[in-house]
Amino acid sequence: MRKFMCRGSPALMAATGELGLLLEAANFAARKHRDQRRKDPPKTPYINHPIGVANILGKEAAISDLATLQAALLHDTVEDTDTRPEELEAAFGPEVRALVAEVSDDKSLPKEERKRLQVVNAPKKSHKARLISQADKLYNLRDLMQSTPEGWSEARVQEYFEWAGRVVRGMLGASPELEAGLEEVLKTRGVSLYTSPPEVDSDTHSDSPPV
């Protein structure tokens, strides 16, 4: 029997290896989110969200860094599933673990405190974490433009837009492409990344549409 060997340049072989590692992250996320659904009326599979965030980074911001894309796929696994940080590190390394930690909320805190901390901590994030966070917000805002989650009023949608603007305003400079997309979407609700709206007193609103 003839043996067929894969031939190619070192760069091509490296790229093929990175693709495999990226697919491993996608598969890991799919397994962890397999029983979860978004809160939109069609109840779309939750995995659509992290795949969409990674796609925004790759397609719209031209991000090719493996750790950033892996962390984008995995960004909700610790926050919203039974995944442990040590599990991520064992599978994908310390950088991916650290990036996921940077973009994860502490679910032991009340929702309003988590929202407040996202605004406060936004300027402290690393560049790669800012990219993931910006893409995450862009995906969620576009989702809200297409359909309103079950149980959400128009006022709640507006509050989310204004809060997301405050969060992203603390991360400006990470990606001109993502920020242009965010500005375009935010303006549909009268919000801008470059002006601060009045603070909104929201006591029971969720900090993210999907969960």
Of 24, 60, 79, 89, the catalytic one is: 79
CA 136 to chain CA centroid, nearest Å: 3
**In a 10 Å sphere around its CB, with 0-12 CB exposed, 13-18 middle and 19+ buried, how is residue 77 labelled?**
buried
201 in catalytic set:
no
Segments in the chain forming alpha helices (H): 10-32, 48-55, 66-74, 77-80, 85-92, 94-102, 111-121, 127-146, 154-169, 176-187
105 in catalytic set:
no
- Return the ∠ at Cα 137 (arms to 135 and 139), rounded to 5°: 70
Of 40, 76, 80, 136, the catalytic one is: 80
| Active centre residues (catalytic) | 79-80
